[in-house]
Structure 1
Amino acid sequence: MPLDTAAIARALATTPGARSEGLETTHSLLCRREAPAFQRAAKAVGPGDRLIVACTQEARLFTELNDATAGATPVVERPIRFVNLRETGGWSRDAKAATPKMAALIAAAQLPDPAPVPGVGYRSAGRCLVVGDADGAQRAGALLADRLEVTLLIDGAAGTGMGSGALAQRRDLPLFAGRLTRVTGWLGAFEVQWSSANPIDLDLCTRCNACLDACPEGAIDFSYQIDLSRCGGHRDCVRVCDAAAAIDFERAPLHTDERFDLILDLRATPAFSQHQPPQGYFHVPPGSRQAAALGEAVLKLRELVGEFDKPKFFRYEQRLCAHSRNEQIGCSACIDVCSTSAIRSDASRKGKAKTEAAGGIVVEPHLCAGCGACTTVCPSGALSFAYPGPVDQGRRLQRLLATYAKAGGRDAMLLFHSEGAGATLIDELGRAARVDRDIQGVPARVIPLALWHTASVGIDLWLAAIAQGASQVRVLLTAEEAPEYRDALAAQMAQAQAILHGLGYAGEHLGLIEARDARDLAALDAALRVAPAQGVAQPTAVIAQADKRATLDVMLDHLLAQAPHRAERAAAQAKPIALPAAGSAFGAVVVDADKCTLCLSCVGACPENALGDNPEKPQLRFTERACVQCGLCATTCPEQAITLVPRLWLADEGRARRQPRVLHEVEPYRCIRCSKPFGTLKAIETMIGKLAGHPAFQGAGAERLKMCGDCRVIDLHSRTDEVRITDLPR
């Protein structure tokens, strides 16, 4: 591949924090004849420096070679960074123009590792439940028994056990028959329940086969379960099983609860319906591929004994959460999008102390797979992706785009893809360009960016990339992504694109690319060769911040300042940018003045303090910048007077949305006794109207409704004293 190391070195020299050592010589046979050059570099680079190899194909070889080199720092103390320059650009048809991209990828690889985050631990003793028909469960159990503590649960196809296969005569493994009714938990902590209504208890059965000979209807086979649809009720089987007492037609259905560390499910329908099942659970359905899939599952299960950990991928700040207040549900975007069912509502106040914050969610870290989709759809930033966090990702974006621009690159397109299937497709596209004339390969202006999961980056970082000089952002989706992720990413991209179009930027800046495997390489190739979109004239040097809303504010300010057609911009600002309703994190609140009584229930419900009152006068005030369109105000309002309007209002250079404005204001209602204001006219009139027929609020009681709290107490006690005096005996 063409490689201009001098140009790359010049670009790195002008990038703050980047270094260009080691670029003096280009190696084309480093994994073979030139391996000693790598060994010399490995010995020269200390624990505090970076050793970067621009080849991913032989990563394992270089890792082993480093640790085998005397005087080299071990990989555990100084990891090697591997960067793919070949498939990502060097093997493209326009590889000669890919130098800016190569410089950007090398510069980004020199960034420090993300800050460590807390871990989530698992402990497995190897207790494994295998559930399926008799043939499959016994076969799988035999493959696992030398490594794991296996229990077999025979789940009959018709609930009877018949036709599920013959049981072996030897009782090598604990074996039960029944119907799986409940499975919860994760690796090392599965709670399993099954029920059994068959008269034969397999735990007591000695498999002497006497019952098979005794049954005149042939209702018992070598599954050692009775087909009740064929049983004639002779009970000959009970008589011949007298010693073992394994057959009892009067036995109540048994419900068994057990704990397991691992589960191998061989049934057609899995125990977990979500896209991503818990770690430690493997589903291998019947079919033509069962043998191969079973082999893969068995190999993985055999390794899951011991202690394991993973990063805690998310951070949660309850004070920012807009899910619920006072048992009213608002935003549930994270719960709806989670493909592992790791997030549940915590809206109830039952059992909570008065000092505890109301509402919120609960995220089970053991179930979390680290997709980050919840953080992408969270409008308030209460959930944020932690490894790497927004600041680390923002620094990476800024380094990539700044180095690319300084090296002479233009119209950069960032291509977010997963580290697994996405990276594989990028490699296949690069290799295909070498042999297929119809495939162009990854274009020179397209910068691939690997993520732990494509759903972990959302609107804040997409707009940050555009503000930092990118022309476009694309997200590559493969079979790894759940359908919920596709919908969520599409909705968020529609929001971001509406904002950019509303600001006057032309073209399609954001989009999803779907490619499942190598059969879609032609479509992927075509999707990457689209015309650039209009970007900013002057990129911002500001990186993303830890707070999602703060990042959005900073990037929106820059995009507004750099918006095309500056002369027309002031007039356009007065008109808000309409946003799609789905997934909107920006918007206004409209109040119906005829319905609103200024009870201020909405103020107490608003989790972001977007709605507020005025201590001096009856007012409802609104700060548009703080609104996340959660809808709690609308669901809380007793008069149904509130409507949400998704939009982005940038009047007065965006300052107007930061200032509180009055949504509704009325004259105060004054106490009929002391004239002190204590409510609003509409609220008092509404209260009087609703209580007009109540016997406790007639005559003097009705008048007290028009008094402030102090006068009401005074009036009540004075009238009580009068009654007592007049009732005294003469």
Structure 2
Amino acid sequence: MTILACTCNRTQPIDEAALARALGEPVALHHALCRREAAAFQRAARDEAPLTVACTQEQRLFAELAEATEGVPPPDVRPIRFVNLRETGGWSRDARAATPKMAALLAAARLPDPEPVPTVRYDSSRARLLVIGPLEAAQALAERLADVWQVTLLGTGGALAQAHRFPVLAGRITGLSGWLGAFTLRWVDDNPIALDLCTRCNACIAACPEGAIGLDYQIDLQACRAHRDCVRVCEAPGAIDFAREAEPQQAEFDAVLDLRPAPAFTQHALPQGYVHLPPGLDAEARLARLWALRELVGTFEKPRFFRYQQRLCAHARNEQVGCQACVEVCSASAIRGDAERQRIVVEPHLCVGCGACSTVCPSGALTFAYPDAAHQGRALKTLLATCRAAGGRDTALLLHSQGAGQRLLEDWGRAARLDAGVHGVPARVIPWALWHTASTGLELWLAAIAWGASQVWLLLTDEEAPQYAEALRAQMAVAQAILHGLGYRGEHLRLLQARDARDLAALDAEVRSLAPAQGVAQPATFAALADKRATLELALDHLIAQAPQRPADDVVPLPATGAPLGALQVNPDACTLCMSCVGACPAGALQDNPAAPQLRFIEKNCVQCGLCARTCPEKAITLQPRLWLDARRREPRVLHEQPPFHCIRCGKPFGTLKGVETMLARLSAHPMFQGAAAERLRMCGDCRVIDIHTSHEVKITDL
């Protein structure tokens, strides 16, 4: 292992010897590695040993140097790892105390890459672009994109150019759906003028006495008084036909450029290949979006970010809808419920990989696949263990996105370097980039506390959808209730929000104001597992074992919103033990007893989805969000039981006394269940058949 560190022209203090002791590896310290000491990088790059460079500022330069240097293994054989120490702490006001954090970041960088996952493919190689909007603007942009795209226009007013430069559609849009390479436009062509036949001679415009025809060659039927002067002057056969019926039309496109003020899609995360360019957008943003659009022709792949296990899903059972957390939180409208198949459906082409669905999923039916929970847990555990071994205390994890969150962190570090009023990232705070901030949830946060973190903070920017903040706060409220209920003092979880560099001063002040919270006395050693509930149970076991103070009744109440743990209360006066709830439970928390009329419950398995309560015909079940600390939460216990009803003919037990009494009461007024028929309801199935057969034979004999 080779580790190259650089003080960046002596602007950050790095303790070479302390880092080497913490990592158990030699650390070569430089002051201008990307300039006059670049030869040291080239020598290290030729070696086949794993190489880590503590600089991301010049990552591209180092990659080019490696490619140009003879004897350097290719990246697929020996990748070079790059770590940001400068903005994450080296430029902080307490940078000299940041050695444990630096060691942690270097150690985590050495971890292997996540396991590859299946990919999702987009094919836009046919290069069909639809531009929607005012015709003048649409045509001007089409001219600039025509070298890359085959452009079709759909005008929303304005003047159409005289020359037939691009195909033009007309009519009323009724639907737009899809993604890059597979957009479907649906519209109704209700214009009497056929634009493909129109020569744009403008004779119709000049002849119309009401001025009902515009330069977009659309007829305003509200203003038209049926003089039909336009038809008489038109020399193109069939170009104007008022008898033409409005017909639904459909066309396929690979990408869409929308110039209208409001986008065609209402979700926060717009589909891949849909570019919204509203009026008033600043020049820089316009240029960025148009440039990105030019790069979208071809075939592309992205990871399939999620895994779904229907057997664990608490969305629906027995035609009842329970949990809809993933559907409600998805910012890309990629998830929908399928009532017929009793499951949810995720469209992978719309999924943007935020992971929010897996965060709010109580059962683990939806899991974040790339990187998976085991990989993310390994990284967090490595960060915390290395920092602690190097002398770090009261460590707070600051989780942020790789996009806007990373840029904000870099701005924060630079501000601390140049602005005396900005402190920078404190030495006890370890920033860690995630694919998306919403991709971790309750189980990994509590696992991090169990592994020795004092706090876990999440940094949100404008990149995240508004519903993410709401969902994450609900999850944090549950986690904090558990920790407070176990006697851990302080605020362990916090949602930090900053739009951009303008909010850095407030972010800097907020972070500095957060005092360390009480953690575990002895860090846990377990590893995060692929199964969400299994990881959560491991974290809870350790936190309970280390709890500073357990509640007297061994019960920690949890918030009603978002709690994936809890018990059930059954009203014994209403429950008939029909066992509908057992069939509805997706987690195996509710069970019957073949040997006796009992409803049994394993509290550890309950995800509080509410399907049992919705399914119960007697409305006898109430959810009770809580964490029960007793070991019996893993064992079946009886929620309700009743004496069996005995057959009035043979004495064999069947059903329950309450169930049979309820059935008799409900059917007492029914004409089909009177006299002997009512008595048969008190018989077991065998005796009922015998009684019917015997009664039938008696009637035949009487005849």
TM tier relative to shorter chain: over 0.9
> 1:430 is aligned with what amino acid?
G
Structure 1 residue aligned with 2:535: 551
Q: Which amino acid aligns with 2:289?
A: A
- Which of 154, 167, 171 is 2:164 aligned to? 171
Alpha-carbon distance in structure 1 between the residues aligned to 2:573 and 2:461: 52
For residues 244 and 453 of structure 1, what CA distance do their matches in structure 2 show? 58
Q: Which residue of 2 aligns with 1:313?
A: 305
State the match for 2:36 in structure 1.
Answer: 33
Deviations 1:59-85 (A, max 9, x none): 111111110111111224332211100
- Partner secondary structure for residue 30 of structure 2: coil
Q: What is the identity, as a one-letter code, of the residue corresponding to 1:596?
A: C
- Give the Cα separation in 2 of the matches to 1:93 and 1:244: 79
Deviates more, 1:336-345 or 1:221-230: 221-230
1:641 is aligned to 620
Shift of 1:232: 2.7
Correspondence for 1:197: 190
Q: Deviations over 1:254-276 (max 9, x none)?
A: 32101111011111121110000
Cα distance, 1:50 vs structure 2 = 2.4
Matched ranges for 1:3-42 at <5 A: 3-13=14-24, 20-21=25-26, 23=27, 25-42=28-45
Q: Report the alpha carbon displacement of residue 630 of structure 1 after superposing the two structures with TM.
A: 0.3
Contact 1:419/1:451 (<8 A) preserved: yes
Q: Which residue of 2 aligns with 1:353?
A: none
Deviates more, 1:433-442 or 1:92-101: 433-442
1:17: which partner in 2? none
**Aligned match of 1:285:** 278
Q: Bigger shift: 239-248 or 260-269?
A: 239-248
The alignment-based identity, stated in percent, is 65
Amino acid at match of 2:17: A
Q: Distance in 1 between matches of 2:378 and 2:172?
A: 53
Partner of 1:71: 71
Match of 1:699 in 2: 675
**2:228 matched residue in structure 1:** 235
**Where do 1:239-388 residues align within 5 Å?**
239-287=232-280, 289=282, 291-349=283-341, 359-388=342-371
Q: Does 1:586 align with 2:578?
A: no
Relative distance call for 1:424 and 1:325 in structure 2 (3 A) is same
Shift of 1:541: 1.3
CA distance in 2, matches of 1:463, 1:648: 14
Taking the aligned partners of 1:218 and 1:552, their CA distance within structure 2 comes to 70
Q: 1:70-149 to 2 correspondence within 5 Å?
A: 70-124=70-124, 125-149=126-150
Partner Cα distance (1:366, 1:288) in 2: 27
Q: How does 1:532-571 map to 2 (within 5 A)?
A: 532-565=516-549, 569=550
Structure 1 residue 656 displacement after superposition: 1.6
Counterpart of 2:530 in 1: which secondary structure?
Answer: coil
Q: CA contact under 8 A between 1:143 and 1:298: conserved in structure 2?
A: no
Deviates more, 1:612-621 or 1:192-201: 192-201
Q: CA offset at residue 400 of structure 1? A: 0.6
Amino acid of the residue matched to residue 275 of structure 2? F
Report whether the alignment pairs 1:660 with 2:636: yes
Partners of 1:601 and 1:217 lie apart in 2 by 69
Rounded Cα–Cα distance in structure 1 between residues aligned with 2:263 and 2:59: 37
1:531 aligns with 2:515: yes
Pairwise CA RMSD of aligned residues?
1.2
Query: Residues 293 and 152 from structure 1, CA distance in 2 versus in 1: closer, same or farther, beyond 3 angstroms?
Result: farther
Partner of 2:3: none
- The CA deviation at 1:292 is 4.3
Deviation of 1:689 after TM superposition, in Å, equals 1.4
Aligned equivalents of 1:721, 1:679: Cα separation in 2: 28
- Matched with 1:433 is 416
State how far apart, in whole Å, the 1-side matches of 2:493 and 2:455 are. Answer: 6
Aligned partner letter, 1:93:
R
For residues 136 and 699 of structure 1, what CA distance do their matches in structure 2 show? 83
Q: Is the 8 A contact 1:579 1:648 kept in 2?
A: yes
Q: Which residue of 2 aligns with 1:600?
A: 579
Q: Residue 375 of structure 1 contacts residue 383 of structure 1 at CA under 8 Å; is this kept in 2?
A: yes
TM-score (norm 1): 0.93
Matched to 2:287, the amino acid is: G
CA contact (8 A) 1:39 1:66 kept: yes
Deviation at 1:555, TM superposition (A): 0.8
Q: Secondary structure at the match of 1:223?
A: coil
Separation in 1, partners of 2:173, 2:40: 60
Paired residue type of 1:276: A
What is the letter of the counterpart of residue 588 of structure 1?
A
The more displaced of 445-454 and 541-550 is: 541-550
Q: Deviations over 1:387-409 (max 9, x none)?
A: 11111111111111110001000
8 Å CA contact 2:155, 2:216 repeated in 1: no
Question: d(CA) in 1 for partners of 2:281 and 2:484?
Answer: 50
Equivalent residue of 1:224, what SS? coil
Amino acid at match of 1:533: A
Looking at structure 1, the residues matched to 339 and 317 of structure 2 have their Cα atoms a distance apart, in angstroms, of 7
Corresponding pairs, count: 690
Structure 1 runs of 4+ aligned residues shifted over 3 Å read 291-294
Residues 1:632 and 2:632 are matched in the alignment: no
Gaps of 5+ in 2: 1-11
Per the alignment, residue 151 of structure 2 pairs with: 150
**Unpaired segments ≥5 residues, structure 1:** 14-19, 156-163, 350-358
Residue aligned with 2:672, SS: helix
Measured in 1, the distance between the counterparts of 2:337 and 2:80 equals 42
Equivalent in 392, 398, 405 of residue 422 of structure 1 = 405
